[in-house]
Structure 1
């Protein structure tokens, strides 16, 4: 009953907010919620270019994969908001299922004896996690802005749930879909393999995963490669050539669009000399990847926490981050109540994150409208947001490594 009420509440809230056109128009332009690779307006511009020239990539506007365009193009002619609503509701249903896996199989989150609210007891955890995921301001704002990151998050959630059930083929298919939409889900391959391994073998009393065998690794990579190859083949069939690779993945790798966002790339590449751009592109794209192995060495026995830590890391340090990415991490964080209660200074982190979130649009306004500020105003608040967000991720990882 409680689960149904939570889903009904999330549906009603989104329905009411979608019914306010001015709210959608405002949020869909906010740099904190949408990026050049997740913007609904750019998707609409891609539709216009498709009608005019036969290709959504003919202008330097649309840079999302062809299959996503093919999926959304028919429904954009009618009720344009329902794919986002369906994606979010499916994701929250999966969050319920993942919460049940944490309750049934993920006993490590209850090992320490830290007292928690009854809302976070094992029997109530799925409902509470779903409520936080549905009503989280970051994910709610991303939903109303119709950011296409919702579809990437849906694929990642499916991969985690299927991995918890030991379904190798289904899990790798979802990883391939997520990697096709956004490259970063590929780097979740290792924690997903650990989840598959722990689902297929008997764990010890302290619920340590058995590790990834060579057979499982080869099987996962093979299935992943087949699914990704199929997606690329379908994209080639739709597009007629391979130019979509240049307009999507290579375009992101070059960081061609310096539109301000809540990341650290845009301001940096506005200031750096042209001859240093290739070097710093390599360094900054590599930066989040270097955390994969160190976190693995400390959290290999807790694949759920390992996946959560990596999702949080990439939500900050990817090329085009948004509130929706960090909101997805916060939703997964709700599945670790004991860890949350053990984090020191958690209230300071929450207040700092909230203050930075509120000040970002203020500094944006001061920069662009009354001309009483400049780009430094907005970028400074971006750094404050990054600092408090990274502190939350670091504190979560630190507590998990002590368990």
Structure 2
């Protein structure tokens, strides 16, 4: 841990600085970072209502979960509503995510190195030797993930302005449990992820497969029992915290599913449903929402030999297709990208993807300002950028998946030229 402290301390100071100096207050308060489902300002409103005996879910102000509201209320109470202390706690929590990811990626890389060592006899001799993962790749990948999360602008700006940091903690702990093969704890943390943000419920599929793959019934049964029991516990705890009301279900999960708030963000929902006729609304809601869940089974069938790649892919797809995405979700999966650096040699669209990301990220705040403040642009300008941003993310994920298949083919068959070298890999 000692060699991590300088990075963690630097990350904390950077986050705390941007949370206090308010140099980017206009940008931070925009929907690029804060959305109706994760806004820290709305959390303050919810605490204000709850502390005065008013149901925070009676209206359209607060859409967080009751347990998050309870934890936030404790933070407000014991900090004396001191903004400096609250920002420090949130920044510290976000830096902790980087440390958790460091150990999670270390363990996951160890398992990938061990898997390739065991399957070495299946590979194509000298040709595969230079491509195989080595022990040095473990520490390099883990260190790069920590640095990426520490200094990623998305996570820095997101740290003290949204409740996404709590979701990131839970997903990071889930990855740590996967690395250490602690399936009972994995079930509990994935259930908390689903309770907090609904969309991570899709991670149940690859996680259950990993528990089943161990060929130990106690792992699979422990995972399923922990998942179901944790869901039930937190739901009934929420029921008790809200004074015996289930209103939080529609206020949180119904809100995420039905997308009633069409405040512009970096996602794909708001523009389409602004233009949508009401009698078509439910059909298109189901059509849009299914994208966050439908890919779990096909990805697991194709990449069953590397279920952690399936988990990562679903995290990316969730960040793209959820109803209220923010840059904190994008920063989380981009920070884990160094874990797949061994695929860089077989990736084909790195330059195009990088240019897509840079162009959209530079133009997004510019067109946001031109549209809403200067009045010299319109919604089509900003939506064009968000559509390009989604395309960039999809291009990145598809390139990673193709690079994995290409590398897997070359490990087994070598790098010899064939008439159709990659058709076999795709089949």
TM-score of the aligned structures, taking structure 1 as reference length: 0.90
CA contact (8 A) 2:46 2:56 kept: yes
Partner of 1:101: 107
Decide which of 311, 315, 321 is 1:317's aligned counterpart: 321
Structure 1 pair 148/27, CA: closer, same or farther in 2 (3 Å)?
A: farther
- Please tell me the root mean square deviation across aligned C-alpha atoms, in Å: 2.4
CA contact (8 A) 1:163 1:193 kept: no
Structure 1 pair 318/214, CA: closer, same or farther in 2 (3 Å)?
A: farther
1:273 Cα shift? Answer: 0.7
Decide which of 294, 301, 312 is 2:298's aligned counterpart: 294
- Aligned counterparts, 1:217-232, within 5 A: 217-232=220-235
Counterpart Cα distance in 2 of 1:335 and 1:105: 12
The answer on 1:166 being equivalent to 2:170 is no
Counterpart Cα distance in 2 of 1:238 and 1:109: 49
Decide which of 266, 271, 281 is 1:267's aligned counterpart: 271
- Aligned counterparts, 1:95-174, within 5 A: 95-107=101-113, 121-144=137-160, 146-174=161-189
1:36 Cα shift? Answer: 0.6
Counterpart Cα distance in 1 of 2:287 and 2:370: 32
CA contact (8 A) 1:109 1:337 kept: no
Give the secondary-structure state (helix, strand or coil) at the position aligned to 2:348.
coil
Structure 1 pair 246/43, CA: closer, same or farther in 2 (3 Å)?
A: same
Structure 1 pair 101/196, CA: closer, same or farther in 2 (3 Å)?
A: farther
Partner of 2:287: 283
The answer on 1:176 being equivalent to 2:191 is yes
CA contact (8 A) 2:47 2:72 kept: no
Task: List per-residue Cα deviations over 1:247-289 (Å, max 9, x = no partner).
Answer: 1111221111001111111110111110000111111111221
CA contact (8 A) 1:298 1:401 kept: no
Which is further off, 269-278 or 42-51? 42-51
Counterpart Cα distance in 2 of 1:306 and 1:392: 14
Structure 1 pair 296/360, CA: closer, same or farther in 2 (3 Å)?
A: same
CA contact (8 A) 1:164 1:196 kept: no
CA contact (8 A) 1:6 1:127 kept: no
Partner of 1:206: none
CA contact (8 A) 2:212 2:220 kept: no
Task: List per-residue Cα deviations over 1:351-393 (Å, max 9, x = no partner).
Answer: 2111101111111111111211111111011111111111001
CA contact (8 A) 1:28 1:40 kept: no
Give the secondary-structure state (helix, strand or coil) at the position aligned to 1:56.
coil
CA contact (8 A) 1:49 1:57 kept: no
CA contact (8 A) 2:19 2:87 kept: yes
Counterpart Cα distance in 2 of 1:195 and 1:331: 23
The answer on 1:70 being equivalent to 2:73 is no
Partner of 2:95: 89
1:143 Cα shift? Answer: 1.3
CA contact (8 A) 1:160 1:192 kept: no
Partner of 2:415: none
Structure 2 alignment gaps of length 5 or more: 121-127, 409-427
Structure 1 pair 27/147, CA: closer, same or farther in 2 (3 Å)?
A: farther
TM-score of the aligned structures, taking structure 2 as reference length: 0.85
